[in-house]
Homo-oligomer: A and B are copies of this chain.
Amino acid sequence: MAGKINFVDGGSVTTPGGFSAGATYAGLKTYAEDKLDLGILLSDRPSSVAGVFTTSAVRSPTVTITQERVSSQSKVRALVVNSGIANACVGEQGYLDAQEATAETARRLGLRSEEVLMGSTGIIGVELPMALVRTGISQITPSEGGGNDLARAIMTTDTHPKEGAVAFECSGKTVTIGGIAKGAGMIHPNMATMLSFLTSDADVEPSFLQRALSRAADSSFNMLSVDGDSSTNDTVLILANGAADAGIIEEGTPTGDLFQEALNKLCIHLTKELARDGEGASNRLIEVTVEGATDLTAARLAARTVVSSSLVKTAVHGADPNWGRIIAALGRSGAEVDEGKVALYVNDVCIMEDGRPIPFHRDGVVALMRGLEVSFRIKLNLGQSEATAWGCPLSEEYVTFNSAYTT
């Protein structure tokens, strides 16, 4: 069965061996029954770590401290994460609060502060109420079944938690990668932030772990957001603790390739979940694949530009096969395009070839565009590179929601 990657039923961030999690309601979000806003992820042994962080010039001290710790040491043990408040635009106090929250978590778990990372998401310009955070941390007891609680504790505008896990065989052992993620607004990661926390019981060579995460993020989370878009708090972390006891996984080996493929699969799964749960998306997904581009950069640029076009998004909302908008977005994307060579498919129905529309059964295509998944496949016929991007329709609900959302 080597080489086969399977999704684990009901998988989450605590599915890989040696990981536990827990969460509580600390009072950082408006109260509702069953609401959680503070959580902890714990590895029972030192874990390799890698991260991908916001590139914004305005960033939360939570991110700064976490990024420092990820890059300055090879092993960590835990993560504390809060939702409701982003701990951004609060000056020096934000650093002190993030330091204290990780120190408090370390104390609770019997670790060193430096072994604890942090994530924050929520409104910006508001200080963390540290008395509530301290009390909250003292109430959390991580357990092996706690992944779903943690997935719920990081939600802000999300309507449901996003989780998943994949597994594959390696040296006769089962290796698992699990993860959770939270929401993206509709057009790009909301200032409310895109967070994803991944775990694995694989023992991954640390520099490979970082490259594998960066590659996975480039073909998943970064294909959800518009080019350059990034909030103050965006963070993707992976902890790999080796609990599967399956030997060290290195780059350029069959097992390394399998690990990369499994990680990509999981990240793409979470990305599609984020797109479907975009504000006002009503669980509908847009997938744009660009084939035959001159190079990967061009393919990604074109796919991202089309999927993030408001005119394309509203056309999908209205189930309108408005190919002109797709071609217009493609044309301005910056990717090399030879108009006379372009072909376009809507859910596998060809509606344009050689740069010109072909007669198609409009009612049939409209029916396809009413489905939960609408895919546009664009063939540039210029080269061999391909990329896929994900997004969701732009609906009136998105506007209403974001007009009413309070500061």
Contacts and interface: CB of A to CB of B under 8 A. Distances in A.
A160 B55 CA distance: 42
A114 to B, nearest CB: 25
A321 B394 contact: no
A90 B356 contact: yes
Nearest to A91: B356
Contact of A231 (B190, B332, B354): B332
Contacts of A57: 330-333, 335-337, 339
A117 to B, nearest CB: 22
A58 B320 contact: no
Interface string A370-407: 00000000000000000000000011101110111111
A406 B58 contact: no
A317 B404 CA distance: 9
A56 B302 CA distance: 12
A74 B222 CA distance: 47
A364 interface: no
Nearest to A407: B322
Which of A231, A328, A342, A402 has most B Cβ within 10 Å? A328
A224 interface: no
Contacts of A310: 186-187, 310, 402
Contact of A320 (B56, B124, B322, B405): B405
Contact of A403 (B55, B318, B323, B339): B318
Interface in A134-172: none
Contacts of A254: none
Interface residues of A, number: 64
A244 interface: no
Contacts of A58: 327-328, 330-331, 337, 339, 342, 355
A332 B56 contact: yes
A185 interface: yes
Given A232-B331, A336-B57, A407 B323 contact: yes
Copies of this chain: 2
A285 interface: no
A124 to B, nearest CB: 4
A402 B314 contact: yes
Contacts of A354: 91
A348 interface: no
Interface in A13-60: 54-59
A315 interface: yes
Nearest to A394: B399
Contact of A232 (B89, B320, B328, B335): B328
Interface centre among A185, A190, A325 (most CB of B within 10 A): A325
A406 B395 CA distance: 16
A91 B355 contact: yes
B320 A407 contact: yes
B124 A89 contact: no
A247 interface: no
A110 B59 CA distance: 64
Nearest to A90: B356
A273 to B, nearest CB: 21
